[in-house]
Each structure stands twice: as C-alpha cells, then as structure tokens.
Chain A
Amino acid sequence: MTPLLRAELLKLRTTRTFVAVVGVTLALSLLVVVLTALLSDEFSARDARDLFSADFTGLFIMLLGVIGMAGEWRHRTITGTILAAPDRLRLMAAKMLAYAAAGVVLSLIVTVMIMLVGTIILSSRDFETAAFSDLIDVLWRNLLVAALVGALGVGIGALVRNQVVAIIGVLILGFVIEPALFGLAPDVAKYGPTAGAPAGIQDIDFFGGDGETDALSPGVATLVMLGWIALFFAAAGVRLRSRDLV
C-alpha cells in the first residue's frame, strides 16, 4: 500500500490542480471571513468559532477527490494506472488515503489562514475572539472533516467516472439538495455527506433557532461519514472490478 500511496501523493503534487484548488479555496474562504468580520455589527466568541468552521473547504476537498479519481477516465490514464497497480481495490483505497491526506493539508492551510486573518480583524474592531483552546478544537474538527470528504470525493469519482457529471452532482448535492433538506426534513439532512454529517463533526449549529443544536454528535457523525465512504467504496469497487478496460 505504501508505494501506491506515495505514487498517488506524487500524482497530486505534479499537476496544477491541487495548487489551483488550494488557491481558490483559500481566496474564497478568506473573502467570506474578511467580509463577515468587517461587516458584522456584533460578534460573540461562539460566532467567531462558527466562522472558522463553516467555510467552503469541505466541498472543495470533495471536488478535489472527484477530479482526482474521475480524471483517470477523463484523461484515459486509468489503463496505465491499473497496469501499474493491477489490484483495483488497493488502488482505490490508496487514492482515498492520498486525498484524505491532501484534504488535511488543504484544510490546515485554509483554517490557519482564516483564523489568523479573522482574529486580527475581530481584535482590531474590539470584538470578542475565540479562545486558543476553541481554535484548536475547530482545527482538529476541520481536519477530520477534510480527510473524510477527500476520501468520499474519490469514491464518488470512482463510481460516477464522468468528471463533469460527478462535479455537477456534488455541487447540486451541496448547494441545492442538502440545503433544501435542512428546511424540509432536518432529521434526514443531518446525515447528509456534504453538510449534515460534517456539521455534526464540526459542532455547527445548522438547526438552531432555540440555540440548541440538533446535529449528530461528532462520534456518530464521523461514523456516518465513514458509512458514506464505505458505501461508495463498495459500489465503485464492484463496478471497477467487474468492468473490462477496452
């Protein structure tokens, strides 16, 4: 597994996609944090904590995984990849681990940067800022979510294969279906892979109103995300193993 993982990490580092995704994610996350911190009239320590949790990073990391796996079909490199690594399930597992690691790196960069910039702006406006222990708490939750959605993105890409369809599908899920479910069926929405379950891990109050979170506990939410990953791994694995590469 180690050589395969090394190879997949090398693949990630040797195209411009990863750098571009890091750049776009960082820019968008910073924009949201800067505008929110500058334009808000009041800000509690809890608001600051939530600000550093609820950014676009998860969705972009999922897209990175989708692009990395579905790109093997788009660029027709899947044949060469499988010739080099004939065990297709090990290959997919290595890719999932690589994109989980890439997600952690991307999330670490983005989270640290938005925490730094956001805290500076909030301090300069004499607002309450999140305690250091809270920032560490947000950081590990963000990194865990990043690892899980990175792996899930690979599973989605392996199952769908068509890169454009997979990307559009993830965007519709993340921006249309899950947000709609939050209003229509919150008990279903909290199990969703792009926002619901990640919100449980990140302790984000998506269901508030009365201030009490209705999200899954971090442990259950992590298990739900692992379930999504296992589901896509199994479905994509069956498809990948049974299909001829002609």
Chain B
Amino acid sequence: MAPVEVRDLSKRFGSVLAVNNLSFDIEAGRVTGFLGPNGAGKSTTLRALLGLVRPTAGTATFGGLRYEELDRPSTKVGAVLEDASFHPGRTARNHLRVLAATGEHPFERVDTVLADVGLAEAANRRVGGYSMGMRQRLGIAAALLGDPEILILDEPTNGLDPPGIVWMRDLVRAQAARGRAVLISSHLLAEVAQSVDDVVVVSRGELRGHGTLQSVLGGDEGLVTAVRAQDNERLTRALEAAGHRVQPFRDGLLVPGVSPEEVGVVAGDAGVYLVALAPQTRSLEQAFLALTGEGTML
C-alpha cells in the first residue's frame, strides 16, 4: 500500500468543481512534485488529504487511513500549507512547544528542529516580527517535529530567498534519502524540477500526467515543432496517422521530435493549410505548459 493514495477524488465548492476525479499515489523514498497552475486544485487536494476539506467524492488516505483516523498524526504526516499562520505574540519556541505537547513529542525535539531549519538564534523572538521566509522555515520545523514518514509541502518556496530555495531543495532530498515520502506542490516547475523524482500534473482540477519527471515532461528531447493549421483536428489526425505524437497547445499543436519540414510534408499530403510553422527546442517548462494548457505559442 502506497504511503499516500488519492482515489477518484472530487471536490465541489458550490458551482465550482475544484478537483475532478483525481487519482494518484506517491511512493516512499521519493520526492513527488504536485504541479499545476494557480487554481488547478492543488491546495484543495492537499487539504482533502489532510482532513481539512471533505471530499465530494472519492478518498485521500495515508496507508489506507484518513488523516483524522491516524494515531498521533504528526508522527505520520508533517504538513506545511500555503497559508500557515502563527499567533504573532508567541515565540517560535513556544509555538513548537504547544505542538509538541499536542503530539506528545519530547520538548527537546523543539530545539532540534529549530536548529535544523536555521532558527535557533531567533527561537525566543515573537513570530509577529518574523520575515516571510522565517515563517516558512518555522512551518517546516513544525512539520518535522514528529519526524514524520510523509512530508507535504504546499508551495514551500514562497517567501524564500535563493539560498533558502537551495536549502529547501536539500531538505526534501535528505528526507527522501531517509525513506520519507515527500509531496511538494508548486505552480513554478523551475523551483522544484531539480528536487523531484516524480510528478503529478494537474490543471483545472484534473489529472494531466503522473509518473517520473522524465516520463511525464520529457525534458529536453530535442527538436519540437510548433504548428498551427486552419484545421488543427485534421492535422492532428494526419500527424498521428504518420506515427507522430501530438499535443494540443492553445491555438495550435506541438509535435515533439519532428522537424518543421516533416510536419509540412504531412500537412501537404493531407491537404491541410498551415498558418504557422516553427521549430522549438522544448524545455521542461514548455512541456509543463503544454500539459497544463497554459501559455501561448507562435
């Protein structure tokens, strides 16, 4: 049984379907990037996992158990959500001592995790005076308090400076190296691409891809042709009949691994008029944008 299993998860808020029939697993010892543009349903999915929102349909479980069914949940799951807030009048040390008392962790863990996230010096300062980056580190310290088997980080690089982003990358890799399952959500692929093994890509609440980073987004796989035809559907059928893989991309198509000349020949043979045709070297980012239907081309 995978540490995290999401099965047919849907969540509707009034007329808005925030998550639509989403299914994926994440594995122990791996960092999984949960990627998608803003509003894709990432945070809602994470909150459903953590028992903060009730799914309209489907399940989101940890080893088969819902979050609220876990015994001492902070030893199983550590989570940092995007809007993590703290009482401004409480010091970081006291904030963590409260959580340690709730989770029945020894108070010595508080100083250990404060040192781990680089806040030992500021431990006795009130959180109201913390920078956004320091608050982010404090949130991570709270998540690490129970030395959990699963770490869930929602947009963890928000507010971090470049050294902080590198620190975060090292932290999640170190957690995975210890056999922990790490799920890290982001709308910025570039910030997590160097630290993830697997990706789950969502857009408009739906799953767009799930697997290793390479298998889903491909990375730099050589030449990619961007093309727009008067009839994109006919061109798609023609290219697929010729054995080429085609991805829709806003008002046109992306054809990986095929030169513009070859695309032009297929279009000509099929009698499809082309409006635009250009070679592109596809980056991870472009693949991500293509998968999520974001961005423009040509």
Contact = CB atoms under 8 A, between A and B. Distances in A.
A83 B79 contact: yes
A10 B51 contact: no
Contact of A84 (B87, B91, B103): B103
Q: Assign chain B's interface to a size class.
A: 20 to 34
B94 A82 contact: no
B68 A84 contact: no
A77 interface: yes
Given A75-B85, A83-B79, A245 B53 contact: yes
A210 interface: no
A85 B89 contact: no
B222 interface: no
Contacts of B87: 11, 15, 71, 75, 77
Most buried by A among B51, B102, B142: B102
Contacts of A10: 94, 97-98, 101
Interface residues of A, number: 25
A84 B50 CA distance: 10
A80 B79 CA distance: 9
Contacts of B94: 10, 14
B102 A3 contact: yes
Nearest to B146: A84
The A contact surface, by secondary structure, is: helix
Interface string B76-112: 0001010111111111001001110111100000000
Contacts of A17: 89
Contacts of B98: 7, 10-11, 14
B76 to A, nearest CB: 11
B102 A79 contact: no
A87 interface: yes
A238 to B, nearest CB: 14
A4 B104 CA distance: 9
B52 interface: yes
B85 A76 contact: yes
B292 interface: no
A188 to B, nearest CB: 39
B34 interface: no
Instruction: List the 3 closest A-B pairs by CB distance, nearest first.
Output: A76-B85, A86-B68, A7-B101
27 contacts: A3-B104, A6-B101, A7-B98, A7-B102, A10-B98, A14-B98, A15-B90, A16-B89, A75-B85, A75-B87, A77-B87, A79-B52, A79-B84, A80-B84, A80-B86, A83-B81, A84-B99, A84-B102, A85-B102, A86-B68, A87-B68, A244-B47, A244-B52, A245-B47, A246-B13, A246-B44, A246-B53
Interface of A: 3-4, 6-7, 10-11, 14-17, 71, 75-77, 79-80, 82-87, 244-246
